[in-house]
Chains A and B, each alone.
Chain A
């Protein structure tokens, strides 16, 4: 599967300034590992203790996933990492 990742603004510096990147992966966890392999330094901003970083929401398609890193990805699906409903650091 090939996902279309919208790179969070703060992490674009790891992706040579790219707003979007295409990344092969079958799950969200695999996607983040592949992002880290391609753009070292990105993963620590997305994953903490083996789960999506608290305060961050991963949107797969239209909605925030409830499956975390196990979320399966369909071909051409959009993936966004946005600040969760809670807002900033808490």
Chain B
């Protein structure tokens, strides 16, 4: 049975806004990131990368590089251990060791531009780069396929000759289709045929990158005892360890991963890239090897999120109730299988109750970098299609689209598109908050001269995951508590974990000192991703803190020479049940522990199911310059059911960050691909992400529907907010200038092209 909790509101620490423990180190530059790390005898590694997106490797000559002064090791695909064709779960995503190994270092074929074909370790970065230029590779260039339509066309070049695809349970070969899945419930065709209003539209999206500021990096030592030490920027030290051990074919106990500070990940730092290569270079050179990726390589070779093609058909009765829906979804996997089609299917209809549904999804291999998770992987794409179609259906039928969303809202007992029933969710509460919001009820106002103004809205959904987390606690003699955790801190989780502990112990958040540690210093912990960390690691903190209270009751029993069953604890104070005037607070007790049995420690660990379904709705006002097509966001409000906001500032920050990334995806961002499979805009100059100068402040409305599965009611919050912005912007563009855009990015060129028709 899954434990459930009654909602509480009388918190002392939960819901406050203490300054994050790592704040000063971050803003002063003292925090240690991968590029800062140095070790005695450290040398540099760099990759030799393919200039072609698709080519056979006819030969590699490394002799000139190996002969250079200052070069300690050169490796190629021949140095990579043969990794098994085995799929392993990574929490948010999984890894097939064979494909992962091939992604890191090509064997006899390159399948994406920038694919490493060799790596060099030398005394310094410049020597390594010069040596890399001396590696001679002879290619037989093949035609590249860079989109799902071309990849599935008859006679298309085959990216992976040994791929065996799964077409609804049947094996297929000589194909770029890795998998085709279907969910179908009810009488879809009958219900669609009976619908009073139907709409069918096709949507196309370009691949986009997470755009984290800190590039990938890794430092490795392969020591004399065949133990491998890795320092890296990762969202999950333990899942990095799993991948490294699997790719290098060593036991996990041989690998120690130390997570350094992380400058953004958003899902893209779950896969490993340099770590196994640096380890092999270290083994060969017998020195520590450090590798830091260039920005071009980050774009060209590390996991973006899929672009693809979607066709949505909706049917509604004369009263405005949805009766049927179909979705056909083709996603680019990149150069290895594994696009996020499962989550897309989970999310596409989630905000709505629709009795008859079908979803078909295809995972398609193309000559682009292997995709990775990106904030609600798969959901923003299907939200763009679904929420655009809903708006257009309402326009054609003459319905108020806010009321339509309310009338068709999912609720407890609604069946998701993949068949799973929702438990307690907050979609209706979010819609109510949106309908009553100041933004929704405010006049649109007049745009500046030469511009037209419009308002749009859209729903979004992410299911949020639970999984494994472990923490340790130890009491210091001054009444503070050390918190040891395995969750890398990307968005302020040190403080939210400390708050979980402080609330139980009745002390301040800053009296708990959190540390993120390596894989040999705490129990297994899954990735910081899937919007799971505050939920699952926080739950583990709550367990550990309660265990600590139990341990301390034993010490109080020694102090007062009573049974531990006669000790009570409330608001940070221990008291005797029999003699209520006999009390001792947490801090005073901590100072006496040396004489009461010594150090007091505790642990907490969990392996949890869902972190509670997350629903949001965003409202956006935009101005469009009708002469240039430039879009300016002038007002934005993100509304979301967040369960309980542990640290409201960081919950608001998640909503704001997700909105900003979604706006960038909507208006500007894309992998602009040349015909030969190269990316034409692989720099932050040309890959245009929004900055604080581009956008107004993002308003937030936190709707708190406590999650009964968490002791404080936490739901995952970090991913839902990237789902609504793309369709909300599309709907606002339509409202402003009357055009409906079906492709992203909806940039100035697209708008001007549509306006000129």
Interface residues of A (CB under 8 A from B): 6, 9-11, 13, 19, 45, 54-55, 57, 59, 61-66, 78, 80, 82-90
Q: Is B181 within 8 A of A85, CB to CB?
A: no
Q: Give 23 CB contacts A-B under 8 Å.
A: A10-B182, A11-B169, A19-B184, A54-B87, A54-B88, A55-B94, A65-B609, A66-B467, A66-B608, A78-B420, A80-B420, A82-B183, A82-B346, A83-B418, A85-B342, A86-B93, A86-B338, A87-B344, A88-B179, A88-B363, A89-B96, A90-B87, A90-B338
Within 8 A of A (CB), among B647-688: none
A82 to B91, CA, bound (A): 15
Please give, as numbers and ranges, the residues of chain A lying within 8 Å of B158 by CB-CB distance: none
Interface residues of B (CB under 8 A from A): 2, 86-96, 99, 165-166, 168-169, 178-179, 181-185, 331, 333, 336-346, 361, 363, 377-378, 418-423, 465-467, 530, 607-610
A66 and B607 in contact, given A54-B94, A82-B420 (Cβ under 8 angstroms): yes
Please give, as numbers and ranges, the residues of chain B lying within 8 Å of A45 by CB-CB distance: 169
Q: Is A6 within 8 A of B419, CB to CB?
A: yes
Q: Is A10 within 8 A of B363, CB to CB?
A: no
Please give, as numbers and ranges, the residues of chain A lying within 8 Å of B340 by CB-CB distance: 85-87
Closest to B168 in A: A10
Q: Is A86 within 8 A of B420, CB to CB?
A: no
Please give, as numbers and ranges, the residues of chain B lying within 8 Å of A54 by CB-CB distance: 86-89, 94
Q: Is B421 within 8 A of A85, CB to CB?
A: no
Q: Could you list 6 further interchain pairs (A-B, Cβ under 8 angstroms) beyond the known A9-B184, A10-B168?
A: A62-B423, A86-B90, A87-B363, A88-B166, A88-B339, A89-B337
A90 and B336 in contact, given A62-B420, A85-B530 (Cβ under 8 angstroms): yes
Q: Is B608 within 8 A of A86, CB to CB?
A: no
Q: Is B610 within 8 A of A62, CB to CB?
A: yes
Residue of A54, A83, A90 with highest tally of chain B CB at under 10 A: A90
A86 to B89, CA, bound (A): 8
One of B378, B418, B609 near A82 (C-beta < 8 A): B418
A52 to B272, CA, bound (A): 25
Closest to A41 in B: B169
Q: Closest Cβ of chain A: how far from B559's Cβ, in Å? A: 40
Q: Is A63 within 8 A of B2, CB to CB?
A: yes
Please give, as numbers and ranges, the residues of chain B lying within 8 Å of A57 by CB-CB distance: 342
Please give, as numbers and ranges, the residues of chain B lying within 8 Å of A11 by CB-CB distance: 169
A55 and B343 in contact, given A10-B168, A87-B338, A90-B338 (Cβ under 8 angstroms): no
B interface: dominant SS: mixed
Q: Is B185 within 8 A of A19, CB to CB?
A: yes
Q: Is A84 within 8 A of B607, CB to CB?
A: no
Please give, as numbers and ranges, the residues of chain B lying within 8 Å of A61 by CB-CB distance: 421
Please give, as numbers and ranges, the residues of chain B lying within 8 Å of A6 by CB-CB distance: 419
A88 and B338 in contact, given A6-B419, A62-B420 (Cβ under 8 angstroms): yes
Closest to B164 in A: A89
Q: Closest Cβ of chain A: how far from B748's Cβ, in Å? A: 33
Residue of A45, A62, A87, A89 with highest tally of chain B CB at under 10 A: A87
Q: Is A85 within 8 A of B465, CB to CB?
A: yes
Please give, as numbers and ranges, the residues of chain A lying within 8 Å of B378 by CB-CB distance: 87
A63 to B377, CA, bound (A): 18
Please give, as numbers and ranges, the residues of chain B lying within 8 Å of A84 by CB-CB distance: 89, 94, 342
Q: Is A83 within 8 A of B420, CB to CB?
A: no
Closest to A74 in B: B1
Q: Is A9 within 8 A of B342, CB to CB?
A: no
Q: Closest Cβ of chain B: how far from A73's Cβ, in Å? A: 12
Q: Is B178 within 8 A of A89, CB to CB?
A: yes
Please give, as numbers and ranges, the residues of chain B lying within 8 Å of A63 by CB-CB distance: 2, 423, 466, 609-610
Q: Is A87 within 8 A of B343, CB to CB?
A: yes
A89 to B343, CA, bound (A): 13
Please give, as numbers and ranges, the residues of chain B lying within 8 Å of A59 by CB-CB distance: 420
Q: Closest Cβ of chain A: how far from B347's Cβ, in Å? A: 11
Closest to B423 in A: A62
A84 to B87, CA, bound (A): 12
A84 to B96, CA, bound (A): 14
A59 to B341, CA, bound (A): 17
A6 to B186, CA, bound (A): 12
Please give, as numbers and ranges, the residues of chain A lying within 8 Å of B185 by CB-CB distance: 19
Q: Closest Cβ of chain B: how far from A53's Cβ, in Å? A: 9
Closest to A12 in B: B184
Q: Is A88 within 8 A of B90, CB to CB?
A: no
One of B165, B344, B345, B609 near A64 (C-beta < 8 A): B609
Please give, as numbers and ranges, the residues of chain A lying within 8 Å of B184 by CB-CB distance: 9, 19
Closest to B529 in A: A85
A66 to B184, CA, bound (A): 25
Residue of A11, A45, A57 with highest tally of chain B CB at under 10 A: A57
Please give, as numbers and ranges, the residues of chain B lying within 8 Å of A19 by CB-CB distance: 184-185
Residue of A19, A66, A83, A84 with highest tally of chain B CB at under 10 A: A83
Q: Is B421 within 8 A of A89, CB to CB?
A: no
A69 to B466, CA, bound (A): 18
Q: Is A83 within 8 A of B342, CB to CB?
A: yes
One of B345, B423, B465 near A83 (C-beta < 8 A): B345
Q: Closest Cβ of chain A: how far from B3's Cβ, in Å? A: 13
